[in-house]
Amino acid sequence: MKLIIVLTLIFAVIIGGALYYMYSRKPSSTSGEIIVDAAPIAKPVLDKVIGVFENETGVKVYVSYDATGVIYTKIKEGTPIDVVVFASRDWGLKALNEGLVYPTPSTGLGYQLVVVYVRASTPYNITCLDDLAEYNVKIGVANPDVAPAGYEAMRIINQSPNASLLKSKIVVAKDIAELATWFKIGVVDVAFIWNTFNSTLANLTKAVIYPWRCGYNTTVYYSPVYISKTSRNVQEAKELIEFLSSDYVKNIERSLGSFATEEEARVFIKSSST
């Protein structure tokens, strides 16, 4: 009963926030289209909110998804993109320092943690990262050269006394989207993926392992949003940035398992450490 009440309240807040946002803002004075290139981590949130933005402004938004490093390469090569969403603060700062994105306005699409999903079909009792060294399993990670989740996965694995053995079991996907697909169809038995994929992978998952519970240092990641210097629609891009900064979008992030602030992520780590 408590769960039903909580879910009802969350739903009411989200719907109320959407209505408030739509009717409290002045209609957009622009029309046109925006091209967004985002890391796969942003997909659950963007799928929920882009339609609201389009209805509010009359601006059409075209979204594609690439690994963060691929997005960076695209704008560096001059590909026309209006808004970019990176999966980590480091890549955003790199693009900013190289003059590839505008310094303001910018926002973010939440804070995330890399966790380890174990497929329901895996016949082993895996409760911690070190258990992976004992069994014949395929460990999925996204390409660490372009995907922050893959980089974090390798950083965690390298902390293990069994790092060499664990690395021998790794299968590398081009990005998180491909890795999630591999997990769904059984190409890998376990996968290092963002916590925001909980709802997507829940039905296929036997267990979710939190690395920090196994004694491994874990990084909180932030997904910054910038206007690209290759943008041909800067005004429309600014409107989207403003929208993504709204409380309505922040509540959507929370409802999908992301954290709207770093403090929320830290509290979660602390509360789930035992």
Which residue, 214, 241, 263, sits at the end of a domain?
A: 214
What pLDDT does residue 23 have? 35
Handedness of CA 171, 172, 174, 175 (dihedral sign): positive
What does the pLDDT read at residue 31? 52
> How are strands ordered across the β-sheet holding 83-85?
59-65, 32-38, 83-85, 221-227, 107-112
Strand ranges (E), 71-119: 83-85, 107-112, 114-119
pLDDT in tens for each of the 274 residues of the chain?
433 433 344 444 444 444 444 434 443 434 589 999 999 889 989 999 999 999 999 999 999 999 999 999 999 999 999 999 999 999 999 999 999 999 977 888 889 999 999 999 999 999 999 999 999 999 999 999 989 999 999 999 999 999 999 999 999 999 999 999 999 999 999 999 999 888 788 899 999 999 999 899 999 999 999 999 999 999 999 999 999 999 999 999 888 888 988 999 999 999 988 7
If asked whether residues 133 and 162 sit together in one domain, one would say: yes
Nearest-angstrom CA–CA distance, 233 and 80: 10
Residues 119 and 205 in one domain: yes
9 and 133 housed in the same domain: no
Nearest to 83 by CA among 35, 120, 131, 130: 35
Q: What is the pLDDT of residue 257?
A: 82
- Same domain membership, residue 192 and residue 137: yes
Distance, in Å, from the CA atom of 122 to the CA atom of 259, rounded to the nearest integer, reads 29
Report residue 142 CA to chain centroid gap: 13
Domain co-membership, 43 together with 58 = yes
Supply the pLDDT for residue 10.
Answer: 45
Task: Report whether 220 contacts 113 (CB < 8 A).
Answer: yes
SS3 93: helix
Query: Do residues 271 and 122 lie in contact, with contact meaning Cβ atoms separated by under 8 Å?
Result: no
120 and 106 within one domain? no
DSSP assignments along 223-261, one per residue: EEEEEBTT-S-HHHHHHHHHHHTSHHHHHHHHHTT-BSS
The residue range of the domain holding 66 is 2-111+222-271
On whether both 122 and 101 belong to a single domain, the answer is no
Last residue of a domain, one of 214, 248, 263: 214
CA 71 to chain centre: 14
Q: Phi and psi (nearest 5°) for 175? A: -160, 180
DSSP strand pairing (83-85 vs 221-227)? antiparallel
Residues 98 and 229 in one domain: yes
Same domain, 33 and 68: yes
Structural domains in the chain (count): 2
Boundary (domain end) residue, out of 179, 198, 214 = 214
120 Cβ contact partners less than 8 Å away, ≥ 6 residues apart:
203, 204, 205, 206
Q: 139-142 and 190-194 as β-strands: parallel, antiparallel, unpaired?
A: parallel
CATH of the domain at 173: 3.40.190.10
| Same domain flag for 195 and 238 | no
31 by DSSP, 3-state: which? coil
Quick one: tokens of 89? 């603060």
In a shared domain, residues 107 and 6: yes
Determine contact, residues 240/83, Cβ cutoff 8 Å: yes
> Are 117 and 193 contacting, i.e. CB atoms less than 8 angstroms apart?
yes
Tell whether 70 and 147 lie within a shared domain.
Answer: no
